[in-house]
């Protein structure tokens, strides 16, 4: 596995965001639509506990590359 092909999961307890670095085209949609959660200059860069589940799902659905996906935890 190459260092640029990383998959990470971030959860707020209700929903889990899955990020696949190899697919990311850095469109910035996630940051523009939900800057409370997606902060590319920070580590971890995804903090889903800072937003409501529905807003997270809406934001993830706007990802044009498919690098961001989600699943419900229940």
The pLDDT tens digits for 52-69 are: 999 999 999 999 999 999
Q: Is the pTM of this model over 0.85?
A: yes
**Is residue 26 situated within a structural domain?**
yes
Contact 38, 70 (CB under 8 A): no
pLDDT digits over 6-29, tens only? 999 999 999 999 999 999 999 999
Indicate which CATH number applies to the domain containing 52. Answer: 3.30.70.20
Q: Residue 28's domain spans which residues? A: 7-72
Provide the domain count of the chain. Answer: 1
Asked if residue 59 is part of any domain, the answer here is yes
Contact 12, 59 (CB under 8 A): no
- Six token digits for residue 44: 């971890």
- For residue 1, pLDDT over 60 is answered with no
Residue 20 lies in a domain: yes
- Structural domain contains residue 2: no
Q: Tell me what the pLDDT averaged over the chain comes to.
A: 95
Residue 74 is predicted with a pLDDT of 87
């Amino acid at each position: 596995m190459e260092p640029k092909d990383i998959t990470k999961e971030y959860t707020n307890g209700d929903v889990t965001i899955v990020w696949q670095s190899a697919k990311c085209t850095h469109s910035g949609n996630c940051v523009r639509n939900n800057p409370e959660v997606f902060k590319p200059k920070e580590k971890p860069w995804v903090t889903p506990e800072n937003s409501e589940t529905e807003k997270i799902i809406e934001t993830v659905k706007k990802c044009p590359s498919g690098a961001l996906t989600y699943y419900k935890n229940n």
